Amino acid sequence: MIHPYDDLPLHQSSSPLLHPSSDSLGLYDRYFFNGFDANGELMFALAMGVYPNRQVMDAAFAVVRGGVQHNCRSSRMCATDRAHTVVGSISLEVTSPMLEHRIVVEDHHGVSADLTLRVVSPVIEEPAFVHRVNGRVVMDYTRITQFVEWSGWISLDGERIELADLGRVQGCRDRSWGIRGGTRGLPGPATVPQFFWTWAPTLLDDMCAHVAINEEASGKSWHRSGAVVERFNAGEGSIDRVLDTTRVRRADNVSTVIDWVSGTRWASSMTATIDMWQSEPVVISYEPYARFQMSGVGYQHPEWGHGQWRGDLDESRDELQLDALNPLDPTVIHVQHLCRAKSGEREGVAVLEQLVIGPHEPSGFSGVLDGAN
């Protein structure tokens, strides 16, 4: 199965580029983007993924406005050309790799958008995520994170929102690929589900920081990373500048202290300490003030989960009244909080993503979905 990209010297094996590197159903390749204004009046996100062994490409675009989250989801069969990043009414164009992307939503049941991101930081290549349970691969993937600013507009049921009217609309993007959920659906003894995840991309006055942690039930980490990078103005990046690894200051160690909202698995605050080689640690405090539900873009969703087969083409829209949700509903615990961030005299905004399922001794969680005391 040959693709025009096979004419480029990019092969990692003797196989054509479209031949999957693994037969795992968890094999995937995904884009994720988010955006927000400083006041939290608008939050939005897009996820688009391809699952070669499932023959599925899906996408979701969700917007939080006035306490309501509007979720648009699309899925289509993708048997061959994974480079055609259009799923129904949602499309993604990589207009300039690592520098600029464009997202278009064409009247998805009353929701439309035309958004362009331009990067404001170098690329952070995170350490590989590799996790095995009883020798079987659960996770084996790579991810990059980068900070961005947005321009364009969003229309919700006739209300057109010009991003320029909200001041600076910032955010981040990530790209990840490999295997996630590699043992899902395989035979074996039943086990108590457990997953602890915090992710905190942070935009400060003159720099950006990043923290990512996965921990087992005991609190022992199987992934822990952090980095600090320069921040430049949108449009001032070049491919050499964003790929220059000397501009990424990687952490020697990362630690966090999290306080939880009583009766939930949502953070009420967090402090992160990023220890740097031969320099003072970077200490950042996080105070949440707005919330985005990740189920809106497919995470933990029972019917529109990533890679689920929904036929040749299927689309849907729904809404979430955020203040009416049960925080311990399994489809609701995965969140991104918009936070006020502070590090010394520096101030800014951050996204604090949390997904905590099952026991986690340092947090005081002992069951699958018990809330904090």
- At residue 210, the pLDDT reads 97
Domains and CATH numbers, the chain: 4-363 (2.40.370.10)
- At residue 133, the pLDDT reads 83
Select from 310, 268, 230, 257 the least CA-distant residue to 60: 310
Select from 65, 38, 30 the least CA-distant residue to 159: 65
- At residue 189, the pLDDT reads 74
Radius of gyration of the chain, Cα coordinates, nearest whole angstrom: 20
Residues 124 and 212: beta-carbon distance below 8 Å: no
Tens-place pLDDT, residues 12-43: 889 998 888 888 999 999 999 999 999 999 99
Tokens read off for 312: 């040749």
Residues linked to residue 43 through DSSP beta bridges, in sequence order: 36, 64
The sign one gets for the Cα dihedral 183, 184, 186, 190 is: positive
Lowest mean pLDDT among 5-9, 42-46, 84-88, 169-173: 5-9
Q: Looking at residues 79-93, what average pLDDT do you find?
A: 94
Tens-place pLDDT, residues 185-203: 677 777 778 999 999 999 9
Tens-place pLDDT, residues 309-365: 999 999 999 999 999 999 999 999 999 999 999 999 999 999 999 999 999 999 999
- At residue 137, the pLDDT reads 86
- At residue 190, the pLDDT reads 72
Tens-place pLDDT, residues 330-344: 999 999 999 999 999
Tens-place pLDDT, residues 276-289: 998 999 999 999 99
- At residue 135, the pLDDT reads 83
Select from 206, 216, 199 the least CA-distant residue to 256: 199
Beta strands 86-87; 100-108: pairing state = unpaired
Indicate the pTM of the whole model. 0.95
- At residue 53, the pLDDT reads 94
pLDDT at 61 over 80: yes
Rounded to the nearest integer, the mean pLDDT of the chain is: 95
Q: What percent of the chain has pLDDT over 70?
A: 99
